[in-house]
Amino acid sequence: MFIRLDLSCSSCRQPRLLDGAYQCTLTAGSLDEACGQLLCYSCSRAHSSATSHPCFRVVGLDSRVMAGVIDCPHRCGANLTPANYMKHARSCKLRELMCPMSMCRQKPFFWNTLASHLIDHHGFFSENTTYEGYKEDIPLIRCGTGVVLEGQEEYFVFFIAETGLYFIWLGDAKAKPDLPSFMLKVYLHQAGPDGGPREELGHYLSPHPARVMDVIHLCVISRVTNVNITQQSFYLRVLIEDRA
């Protein structure tokens, strides 16, 4: 029989007790309500610093956690085990997302509405991908905008921030349950001076990204300074293929 668990830390309310539950040693005889609550590691450290009360890990709960069933934190109705909780939480189609663009930070968005927001509000270039061969000469335009490649019930987003190239996968992982990751190879180019050959500024070849909604730093644009990057135009050469 499985035990249904609430993994929320009593202090930060984030589902972090999967990594261990901690409790203050002064669970009785204290005037602080937090002394009797289950805390995550970070909050237990903060509690100890604020009260001078040491905290300990409640190791007796570890076996119960591993044998338990956890509700999806985004309320999609999925029953999760500790083994698949974190991956599902990062790829759930009902996860609310914040716009990653500097000076915007609007929220909340779902995966499909965030893609539309980047295209309509931030001027991201949009194009389809067929999962076959390289797509050449994709205009990245400049810092502050980017590219959205639309696949099958998923989007592949590329953008430049400061002096780095970043990537986000947006989609419903349940649409491809047998394909948890995909091959991604990216080359970043800039037109050479006076119309000369394009110069490669950076690339990303591995590892294969998982279908989870996180920001991935692909490469550093080492030869372009943060001062003049907003004046530059860039191009991408991208290969995306499904891999089991």
- Which one of 71, 99, 123 terminates a domain? 71
Q: Are residues 116 and 53 in the same domain?
A: no
Which domain-ending residue is among 45, 71, 97?
71
Strands 181-190 and 199-204 come out as: antiparallel
- Check whether the bond before 207 is cis (ω within 30° of 0): yes
Amino acid (1-letter code) at residue 135: K
Q: Give a yes or no: residue 235 inside a domain.
A: yes
> For residue range 130-151, what is the model confidence (pLDDT) as tens digits?
898 898 888 875 656 789 999 9
- Rg over alpha carbons for the chain, rounded to the nearest Å, is 22
- 38 inside domain: yes
Query: Based on the domain organization, do 221 and 119 belong to the same domain?
Result: yes
With CA atoms as reference, report the closest residue to 181 among 204, 209, 156: 209
Please report the pLDDT score of residue 95 as a whole number.
87
CATH code assigned at 132: 2.60.40
Domain membership of residue 104 (yes or no) is no
**Are residues 56 and 160 both part of a single domain?**
no
Q: Which residues contact 42 (CB under 8 A, 6 or more apart)?
A: 12, 16
Among residues 162, 165, 167, which one has the least CA distance to residue 228? 162
Q: Report the distance separating Cα 190 and Cα 241, nearest Å.
A: 24
Cis-peptide, bond into residue 73, ω within 30° of zero: no
Residue 92 placed within a domain: no
Whether omega for the bond prior to residue 108 falls within 30 degrees of 0, making it cis, is yes
- Cα 168 to Cα 29, 215, 236: the distances in Å are 49, 5, 15
Give the pLDDT mean for 217-230.
Answer: 67
Measure the CA–CA gap between 141 and 143, rounded to whole angstroms. Answer: 7
Q: What is the pLDDT of residues 106-135, one digit of tens each?
A: 778 988 899 999 999 988 999 998 898 898
Instruction: Give the three-class secondary structure for 61.
Output: helix
Residues 67 and 115 in one domain: no
Where in the sequence is the domain holding 134, given as residue range(s)? 111-243
How many domains would you assign to the chain?
2
43 and 128 inside one domain: no
Q: Does residue 120 sit in the same domain as residue 207?
A: yes
Same domain flag for 152 and 222: yes
* Same domain, yes or no: 227 and 123: yes
Nearest to 124 by CA among 149, 153, 161: 149
The domain boundary, picked from 52, 71, 90, lies at: 71
Token pair for residue 1? Answer: 């029989």
**Separation of alpha carbons 122 and 97, rounded Å:** 16
Together in a domain, 65 and 124? no
Residues 135 and 204 in one domain: yes
**229 phi and psi angles, rounded to 5 deg:** -65, -30
- Would you state the pLDDT for residue 226? 47
Q: What pLDDT shows up at residue 170?
A: 94
Of 13-17, 89-93, 192-196, minimum mean pLDDT range: 192-196
pLDDT at 227: 43
Reported as type and span, the H/E element at residue 66 is: helix 62-66
Tokens 């100890």 label which residue?
48
Q: How far apart are CA 65 and CA 23, in angstroms?
A: 16
The verdict on residue 98 lying in a domain is no
Asked if residue 60 is part of any domain, the answer here is: yes
pLDDT of res. 190: 80
Same domain, yes or no, for 38 and 143?
no
Q: Supply the pTM of this predicted model.
A: 0.74
Mean pLDDT check: name the lowest of 61-70, 213-222, 226-235: 226-235
As a whole number, the mean pLDDT across the chain is 83
> How large is the average pLDDT for residues 167-180?
87
The per-residue pLDDT for range 55-98, each reduced to its tens digit, is 999 988 887 777 778 888 888 888 888 778 888 888 888 888 98
In a domain, 28, yes or no: yes
- 101 lies in a domain? no
- Let me know whether 65 and 145 are in one domain: no
Q: pLDDT for 33-47, tens place per residue? A: 888 888 989 999 999
Dist CA 70 CA 171 (whole Å): 22
pLDDT band (50, 70, 90) for residue 223? low
